[in-house]
Amino acid sequence: MQHIRAHVLVCGGTGCKSSGSKEIQLNFAKYLKEFSIEDEIMIVETGCHGFCANGPLVTIYPEGTFYCRVKPDGVKEIVESHLYKGQIVDRLLYNEPQTQGAIRNHSDIAFYKKQHRLILAHCGLINPEKIEEYIAFGGYMALAKAVTTMTSDEVVDVIKKSGLRGRGGAGFSTGTKWQFARNSVSDKKYVICNADEGDPGVFMDRSVLEGDPHRVLEGMAICGYAIGADEGYIYVRAEYPLAVKRLRIAIEQAEKMGLLGNNIFNSGFNFRLQIKEGAGAFVCGEETALMASIEGKRGMPHPRPPFPASSGLWGKPTNINNVETFANVSEIIKNGAEWYCQFGTETSKGTKVFALTGKINHTGLAEVPMGISMREIIFDIGGGITNGKKFKAVQIGGPSGRCLPESMLDLSVDYDSLTAAGAMMGSGGLVIMDEDTCMVDVAKFFLNFTQSESCGKCTPCREGTERMLEILTRITEGQGREGDIELLENLAKNIKETALCGLGQTAPNPVLSTIKYFRHEYEVHIQEKRCPAGVCEKLTNYVVTETCKGCGLCARNCPVKAISGAVKQRHVINTAVCIKCGTCMTNCPFKAIKKA
């Protein structure tokens, strides 16, 4: 019998794959053979570990040595030193900036210390393409428990008592939603997983589907049993090819083992799953537009009621939850509602996965208990702001979310606290901004996204967001007028009150929040025709400061010859000729050129 003395876990998530993790795996196989230890070591491709800024990641068990930023040419050193000679490669360990010390186990890294990984527990630990590894960690035990020892009403009751709220945006009670679908009388019902993750900078659902797809399948099957559905769809965007591939493998494996299909666990319960690939329309994240897309129609929302629970896919009762919501279900059924209630706050139970992006040191995924503060997420887990810059704002809730200032860093991250602050949880994207960010430009960026993604069905969203974008563009180009701020606020109010679906109703949020907390930046853009952050190109000039040594490097590199001056004397930039490309500032060795 073959004796495996070590497992080499190589991150196979999309991020690490794009950085060469496949070549890393091939090199491990090559060098293990070269040192004649290939029969003693098993290479395992896992999903995303969450520590994305430091990938590709390699973990060696049983000791749990955690190597960061591994390159293909560094594999031989790991094999020879660690796996052959038993000596850890210190240079590839993570070095904590606060302690300046190398850390061997990922659980000792500050990024992980305040996390509580329920949804991401298996990601980075198991091979997502082998159902046996999911089962080894208790996979499908919850489904077995549900269909063989519980009634469908009991399953719904447990989910209600757990306090699980939908992780896709509004935070509606999952159990109550299931109850509505359960109570609907029909010969056919459907379960849909919304994996149409369209927010910029967000990749929580993708990582769960890539790293632990069976967790989602199990949650959907339990939902099917609870509401009386025998068929389900996973609506996933086609831009997630790895997630789609692993979902197909997972469904096939589950069917072969009788965990999906007919008469599951000899209970008489039948449940089948299909994958529907979306074309990437942001509006299809809205449930009625999503269902229209599955039906082969153009993805456009329709008014509610009727709600999907009574008339959804093809007019049949349908329950829709997102990936993270379904990923919670098996743990709740397996461990009980009381167990789940120990995490989070009184009204926001459990954990939440956030995608940390922007001007933050540790971009990646963090799963934290509800109720943690924004400050803890950004500074304790995320490692603070890049390049020692000052924190300015955080965008929470996706492109339709709100920008919160420094004064709200100690806000509790839970549904009710965020709502009270005028923000929303959304799907879990956190975009961090530093002192060099122009908040007017940020508002324009997010509004440009939602405007371009509007389906065009209703006038308030189609025309209103276009008018708002025109005003913001004027302001950032130095053509802002007195009254523009008030006009933006008025337009935003009308759109929020009259748009057909959630996309239109929330599209003005970034504009409203930046006006509320950073109104002075709008006023400077309009009144002084100046961008304080030096971001808006048409409102920015480059100037040579007193620290100029007159080396002439800036003048020699200027593509339009806009800089003049004698040797060893302060140079001057002709703003009428300058094209504001920034080449001069980039090439100045004395940092004597700045934006004004």
pLDDT of residue 251: 98
**Residue 304 has what pLDDT?**
87
Report the C-alpha gap between 226 and 437 in whole angstroms: 48
Which residue carries 């390699």 as its tokens?
A: 58
User: Measured between alpha carbons, how far is 577 from 562 in angstroms, rounded to an integer?
Assistant: 6
CA distance 398 to 395: 7
pTM to 2 decimals? 0.92
Which of 2-16, 242-256, 426-440 is predicted most confidently?
242-256
**Rounded distance between C-alpha atoms, residue 485 and residue 473, angstroms:** 13
Tokens representing 360 are 């933050």
**Alpha-helical regions (H) of 319-377:** 323-335, 337-341, 374-375
Residues 264-274: pLDDT tens digits? 999 999 999 99
What's the token pair of residue 276?
């529907």
Neighbours of 59 (CB within 10 A): 21
Residue 439: closest CA among 488, 499, 505, 510 = 510
Q: What is the rounded distance in angstroms from the CA atom of residue 168 to the CA atom of residue 174?
A: 11
pLDDT at 241: 95
Q: Does position 173 have pLDDT exceeding 70, yes or no? A: yes
Q: If you average pLDDT over every residue of the chain, what do you get?
A: 94
Residue 269 CB partners (closer than 8 Å, separation 6+) = 147, 224, 225, 230, 263
Q: Look at residue 1 and tell me whether its pLDDT is greater than 60.
A: no
The residue among 537 and 182 whose pLDDT is bigger is 182
**Contact by Cβ (8 Å): 324, 204:** yes
| DSSP secondary structure string for all residues of 246-286 | HHHHHHHHHHHTTSSEEEETTTTEEEEEEEEEE---GGGGS
- Mean predicted confidence (pLDDT) in 508-524: 95
Q: How many CB atoms lie within 10 A of CB 591?
A: 10
Among 235, 244, 232, residue whose Cα is nearest residue 269? 232
pLDDT at 302 over 80: yes
For residues 86-99, give the mean pLDDT.
Answer: 89
Nearest Cα residue to 88 out of 73, 113, 105, 71: 105
Identity at 118, one-letter amino acid code: L
pLDDT at 595 over 90: no
Q: Exposure string (b/e) for 469-503, b if CB count within 10 Å is 16 or more? A: bebbeebbebebeeebbeebeebbeebbeebbbbb
Average pLDDT of the residues in 547-561: 94
Q: What local confidence, expressed as pLDDT, does residue 575 receive? A: 87
Residue found by looking up tokens 């306090």 in the block = 163
Q: Per-residue confidence at 82, pLDDT binned at 50, 70, 90?
A: very high
**DSSP structure string for 420-478:** HTT---TTSEEEEEETT--HHHHHHHHHHHHHHH--S-SHIIIIIHHHHHHHHHHHHTT
Residues in the chain: 596
Quote the crossing angle between the two packed helices 213-227 and 204-211, to the nearest 10°: 100
Q: Is the pLDDT reported for residue 407 higher than 80?
A: yes
Task: Tell me: pLDDT of 99 over 80.
Answer: no
For 375-385, the pLDDT digits (tens) are 999 999 999 99
Give the lowest-confidence range in 56-60, 68-72, 592-596.
592-596
In DSSP terms, 65 is beta-bridged to: 60, 105
429-461 per-position pLDDT tens digit: 999 999 999 999 999 999 999 999 889 899 999
Mean pLDDT score, 284-290: 93
Backbone dihedral angles phi then psi of residue 568, each to the nearest 5 degrees: 65, 20
Cα dist from 180 to 141, 226, 438, 445, whole Å = 26, 11, 45, 38
- In contact, 349 and 340? CB cutoff 8 Å: yes
The distance from CA 171 to its chain's CA centroid, rounded to whole angstroms, is 17
Complete edge-to-edge strand list for the sheet that includes strand 364-369: 364-369, 351-358, 429-434, 391-396, 402-405
